[in-house]
Every structure is written in C-alpha cells, then in structure tokens.
Structure 1
C-alpha cells in the first residue's frame, strides 16, 4: 500500500489532489483526518473548502483531532475551525466541544478576544440547547 502522505495535497494549491482524495475509501480517509485538518489553517487556501467538505463527512471521527487543534496556540486557526467546521457539525458532534466553548465564551484570553473567538463560541453554544 502507498504511504498515506502520498494521498495528501502537495501544497495549498493542489486542488486536483483534493478531488482525488474525495474518491478514496473511507478507511483510508479516516487515517488522513489529522493531516487533512492541517489544510484548514487558512480557509482562503484553494484546497481548504474541498478539505472541509471531506472533514464534514466524518462528524464523529474528526472530534478528537479538532480538540487537539483547539488546544494549540494558533488562535487564527481556531477562528477558522469554529467558523467553518464546528458550527457545521451536527449537534451530536458539537456537544463534545461544550467545555472549550464555554471557557472561551466566559473567560477568553487576550489572544482569543483579539480573534473574537468568544463571540463565535457563544454563538455555537446557543445551538447546543436542543
């Protein structure tokens, strides 16, 4: 079997590879999730929308990988994750982020305030009341 890295886009402009990735077996795709998530660090990158589409087809499996990204110190990436990924996940997946969202909404750091993460966290929290 090919190395998993060979399936990944070569760079943020490799939209052709993203289209090939979409056709891969779900088992292979599941193994690629953490690496694919890295391509959402900037949703302005040409590959990002296609990658996001793939990630959203794994609403349960993506949770631990997103939680790891949210524990990073990349507030800009967190902004993209909250605005484009978490808010689009089904409620059953969004609830796994409740503790993080609550903390950011209620006691944001200066960096989180600068990125307005508290506002989107509050918005997502309001969708969890079902």
Structure 2
C-alpha cells in the first residue's frame, strides 16, 4: 500500500475524497498527482471531471505525467489526456507538447489513428502555433 493511498479516491464515486483534496495545500497535493492522473483514464467516471479540474491547477507539474501516459499503449487514457488536460492547459504548458502533437499528426500508431488523435492534435496545435 502506497503512503498516499489514504488521500486518493477509493472508487469512481468518492466525491468526499475529491472535495478533501481540493482543500489540501498545494505542497501536500504534489506527490498525489501521479495517483490522481489515473482518475482521468475514463472521463465517464463520475469523479473524473472534478479530478481533472484539480490536476489542471498544476499545469507545469502535470506535463511530465501526461508525457508518461503518451508512452503507454492505453489509447483511451491518451485520448482523455489530450482532450481534457492538454487542450485546457495554459499556452505555455501546451507548447511543451508541440513535438508530441506533431508526432500524433504525422506518425500516429494504429490505435491513435483509430481514436482520431491526429484531429485532436491538429486542433490543439493550431492554438499554439
């Protein structure tokens, strides 16, 4: 068991934990970000949007976490990271994804092509060029 598990949501309906997280100090939340990222794997989960909003208050800190998700084979998680996180990041943070966006447009994997990542990437890239 991770020492941070007692702070993270237990299930997709655990709004109580999410509300407690929102009241925590930023320094306390930083080590929880990797665990919170898992809650944007499926934006159909009831707490996913609130968790995403919380994560987005750490634009610089989540850039490497999103880049790690992009290295996985979880195309649904990558999709939500693009659509919900990268798309909503401030301009300075979005710019850090320029190379990733170009790769998604020019050399998407079969799964990324199926999920139409290239179209999302174009849309995001147009906001930073």
TM-score, structure 2 normalization: 0.95
Alignment RMSD (CA, Å): 0.8
Cα distance in 2, alignment partners of residues 104 and 62 from structure 1: 19
In 2, Cα distance between the equivalents of 1:100 and 1:72? 13
Q: Indicate whether 1:30 and 2:30 are aligned.
A: yes
**The residue matched to 1:61 in structure 2 has which SS?**
helix
- Tell me whether 1:123 sits opposite 2:123 in the alignment: yes
CA offsets per residue over residues 46-66 of structure 1, 9 Å max, x none?
110110011110001111111
The answer to whether 1:57 aligns with 2:57 is yes
CA distance in 2, matches of 1:68, 1:13: 26
Alpha-carbon distance in structure 1 between the residues aligned to 2:64 and 2:51: 17
SS of the equivalent of 1:57 reads coil
Q: Which runs of 5+ in 1 are unaligned?
A: none
TM-score normalised per structure 1: 0.94
Partner of 1:108: 108
Runs of 4+ in 1 over 6 A off after TM superposition: none
Q: Distance in 2 between matches of 1:108 and 1:55?
A: 26
Return the offset for 1:110: 1.3
Gaps of 5+ in 2: none
Q: Tell me by how many angstroms 1:114 deviates.
A: 0.5
